[in-house]
């Protein structure tokens, strides 16, 4: 990763994350196939809904005859964290037209958000539409095509875990975390390590006492508040 902010660099920076999309995307496609979805239906869901966890929920809820309201609420809760991500990046795109910002907001994912945050450390806090859009498009294409492939190959691949594809996302985020630690000059390494530990503990507690759909957003908000407090008191 470097300080260049153009479309080609956006594609290049995002390519290392593609394996994660392939692994989880194929798993989604296989589950969709198992639940009776056609390749076209699977493709359209990825193109129009484009929310990983929400799509996993939908391919289980639709065949079960769940109401539209319950499906809407489930997907909304699972995707609520995206509001926080968009709010974090929005100040970087103040000069862009509303249509462009809505497009970026629709396409943003956990992975492209993490890439953008890491990129800020190389560009002195700057981002632009060309780089962000290219990064999002790569992720969008990888997820959509992987889901379609998983559905088409559903009869041949019954367990993505046996291939180790489920670990791809974990490995990808570990790599992004490492880049964040070694490049972010605005926060002391000690504070970052403390917050990693705090977030892990809060996540563990959240998984026990909170609904799965609420854990991510609650832990994110609480971790931010704790981090602000620790930084203000001990890392002035």
Predicted pLDDT at 158: 60
> Which residue ranges of the chain lie beneath pLDDT 50?
none
Q: Is 36 exposed, middle or buried (0-12, 13-18, 19+ CB in 10 A)?
A: exposed
Distance of CA 34 to the CA centre of its chain: 25
pLDDT in tens, 195-228: 999 999 999 999 999 887 678 778 888 998 999 9
Structure tokens at 175: 């790599």
Tokens 């929005």 -> residue: 90
DSSP 161: G
The sign one gets for the Cα dihedral 50, 52, 57, 62 is positive
- Domain extent listing, the chain: 7-185, 187-236
pLDDT value at position 34?
85
- Give the model's pLDDT for residue 59: 87
CA distance 159 to 199: 30
User: Distance between CA 90 and CA 74 in Å, rounded?
Assistant: 25
């Amino acid at each position: 990763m470097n300080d260049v902010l153009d479309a080609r660099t956006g594609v290049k920076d995002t390519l290392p994350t593609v394996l994660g999309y392939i692994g989880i995307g194929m798993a989604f496609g296989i589950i969709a196939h198992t639940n009776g979805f056609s390749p076209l239906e699977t493709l359209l869901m990825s193109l129009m809904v484009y929310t990983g966890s929400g799509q996993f929920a939908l391919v289980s809820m639709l065949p079960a005859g769940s109401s539209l309201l319950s499906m809407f609420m489930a997907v909304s809760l699972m995707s609520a964290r995206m509001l926080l991500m968009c709010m974090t990046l929005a100040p970087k795109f103040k000069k862009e037209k509303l249509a462009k910002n809505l497009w970026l907001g629709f396409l943003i994912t956990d992975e492209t958000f993490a890439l953008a945050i890491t990129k800020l450390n190389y560009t002195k806090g700057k981002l632009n539409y060309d780089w962000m859009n290219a990064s999002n498009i790569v992720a969008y294409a990888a997820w959509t095509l992987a889901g379609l492939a998983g559905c088409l190959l559903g009869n041949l691949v019954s367990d993505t875990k046996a291939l180790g594809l489920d670990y791809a996302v974990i490995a990808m985020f570990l790599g992004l975390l490492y880049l964040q630690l070694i490049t972010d000059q605005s926060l002391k390494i000690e504070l970052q390590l403390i917050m990693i530990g705090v977030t892990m503990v809060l996540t563990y507690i959240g998984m026990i006492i909170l609904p799965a759909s609420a854990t991510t957003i609650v832990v994110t908000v609480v971790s931010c508040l704790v981090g602000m407090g620790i930084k203000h008191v001990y890392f002035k």
